[in-house]
Amino acid sequence: MTETIKERLDTVASDTAAMLQSLLPRTEVEGVRCSEARLLDAMHYATEGGKRLRAFLAVESALMFGTDRNHALRVAAAIECIHAYSLVHDDLPCMDDDDLRRGRPTTHKKFGEATAVLAGDALQSLAFTILADPATHENPFIRCTLVTELARAAGARGMVGGQMIDIEAEQASEPLSLAETSRLQRMKTGALIEVSCTCGAVLGGAGAANRRALEFFARDFGLCFQICDDLLDATGDVATVGKAVAKDAGAGKATFVDLLGVEGARERARLLTEQAISHLTPLGNRAQTLADLANHALVREN
Ligand code: GRG
């Protein structure tokens, strides 16, 4: 019997959680809690839960090329560490100031601000330690490419740069245009989504054309994912979404719902999904799971 996309997502999510457990530093050695245990507890806490979407993109992209599943899960865990760090820092009072994440108190609410900042920092370091480890791939050139691609996507011209533009936009007198909002989201959310496919392709030794097909897919999928997130913020309820909703409009944020309206944003998301799936054509049946994911994400509730 073939697995549904939901079952496949659940399998990768629990395998990634198990991999993270094995890679995160242990708080106890021979029954004795180490003195930095509070930091490690916060790192564990921050990486628990979530849809593991980026992990799924990395694993599915890699498996398409016959990669070892364990290698793929290590890369998935590294990317989830970066994602978790970004959420911990994004939730801080100096950024989005959120109390709820993944249906429970944010890391700084549970452990305090200083510990949350440090846990985010340490998760970022851990991500690159995982990728640089020969257990991730025997070929140092591949490991080095993984490190470079993830660093680039997470950095000033990617996720962190997008966050900077977002923060400045909140204080600006004029709202961002559709083009500016698309660029900001492509950096803030899209870069990590895109690099998840890139890393999968690199790990799998994909050729340039296949890697490009996956990256084009991820680019449209990532933008669609953000539009759906804006729709959830505008129309979802806190219990289902697992974080505060209706925050963006109040905070003066540029959202696709403000720019396009609810129906316009839904239509744009449908179009982007179609476009994303069409980029997968050169990969044939191997990419069916990613196409299923794109359709599934369009109707997600959290
Ligand atoms: C603070 C360095 C730094 C970066 C923050 C990604 C980001 C940049 C902030 C996240 C803000 C946010 C909530 C954006 C909406 C889209 C998004 C990334 C949602 C969270 O991703 P999901 O839905 O989360 O995949 P789960 O919990 O499922 O892992």
pLDDT tens digits for 184-209?
A: 999 999 999 999 999 999 999 999 99
Q: Do 57 and 218 touch, CB atoms closer than 8 A? A: yes
Q: State how far the Cα of 208 lies from the Cα of 216, in Å rounded to an integer.
A: 12
For residue 220, which amino acid is it?
A: D
| pLDDT value, residue 252 | 63
The residue behind tokens 């804006």 is 230
Q: Do 76 and 14 touch, CB atoms closer than 8 A? A: no
The alpha carbon of 107 and the centre of ligand 1 are apart by a number of angstroms equal to 14
Residues of the chain falling short of pLDDT 70: 1-2, 239-242, 244-252
| pLDDT value, residue 92 | 98
- Is 59 exposed, middle or buried (CB count within 10 Å of its CB: 0-12, 13-18, 19+)? buried
Q: Do 100 and 238 touch, CB atoms closer than 8 A? A: yes
Which helix (H) or strand (E) element contains residue 33? strand 32-33
Task: Pick left, alpha or beta for residue 31 (phi over 0 → left; psi -120 to 50 → alpha; otherwise beta).
Answer: left
Q: Is 29 helix (H, G, I), strand (E, B) or coil?
A: strand
Q: Which residue in 242, 234, 197, 186 sits closest to 50, CA to CA?
A: 242
Would you say the CB of residue 159 lies under 6 angstroms from ligand 1?
yes
Q: Look at ligand 1, atom 3, and give the residue with the nearest C-alpha.
A: 86
Q: Is 170 helix (H, G, I), strand (E, B) or coil?
A: helix
The alpha carbon of 294 and the centre of ligand 1 are apart by a number of angstroms equal to 18
Q: Look at ligand 1, atom 4, and give the residue with the nearest C-alpha.
A: 86
| pLDDT value, residue 29 | 85
Please tell me the total count of domains within the chain. Answer: 1
The alpha carbon of 140 and the centre of ligand 1 are apart by a number of angstroms equal to 30
For residue 94, which amino acid is it?
A: C
- Compute CA 193 distance to the chain's CA centroid, rounded to the nearest angstrom: 6
**Which residue range forms the structural domain that includes residue 114?**
5-26+33-298
The alpha carbon of 83 and the centre of ligand 1 are apart by a number of angstroms equal to 7
Enter the pTM of the model.
Answer: 0.94
Q: Which residue in 237, 223, 227 sits closest to 257, CA to CA?
A: 227
| pLDDT value, residue 246 | 65
Check residue 12 and report its DSSP letter.
Answer: H
| pLDDT value, residue 241 | 65
β-strand partners of 29: 32
Ligand 1 atom with minimal separation from the 90 CA: 1
Ligand 1: which of 82, 94, 188 to mutate, most ligand atoms within 8 Å of CB? 188
| pLDDT value, residue 154 | 98
**DSSP letters spanning 70-105:** HHHHHHHHHHHHHHHHHHHHHTSTTTT--SEETTEE
| Token couple for 20 | 């993270």
| Token couple for 173 | 């007198």
Q: Do 208 and 67 touch, CB atoms closer than 8 A? A: no
Would you say the CB of residue 120 lies under 6 angstroms from ligand 1?
no
| pLDDT value, residue 251 | 63
The alpha carbon of 189 and the centre of ligand 1 are apart by a number of angstroms equal to 7
Q: Do 163 and 188 touch, CB atoms closer than 8 A? A: yes
Would you say the CB of residue 229 lies under 6 angstroms from ligand 1?
yes
Ligand 1: which of 45, 48, 82, 87 to mutate, most ligand atoms within 8 Å of CB? 87
Ligand 1 atom with minimal separation from the 53 CA: 25
Would you say the CB of residue 286 lies under 6 angstroms from ligand 1?
no
The per-residue pLDDT for range 233-255, each reduced to its tens digit, is: 998 777 666 676 666 655 667 78
Would you say the CB of residue 102 lies under 6 angstroms from ligand 1?
yes
The alpha carbon of 144 and the centre of ligand 1 are apart by a number of angstroms equal to 26
| Token couple for 185 | 């989201």
CATH of the domain at 180: 1.10.600.10
Ligand 1 atom with minimal separation from the 54 CA: 25
| pLDDT value, residue 30 | 85
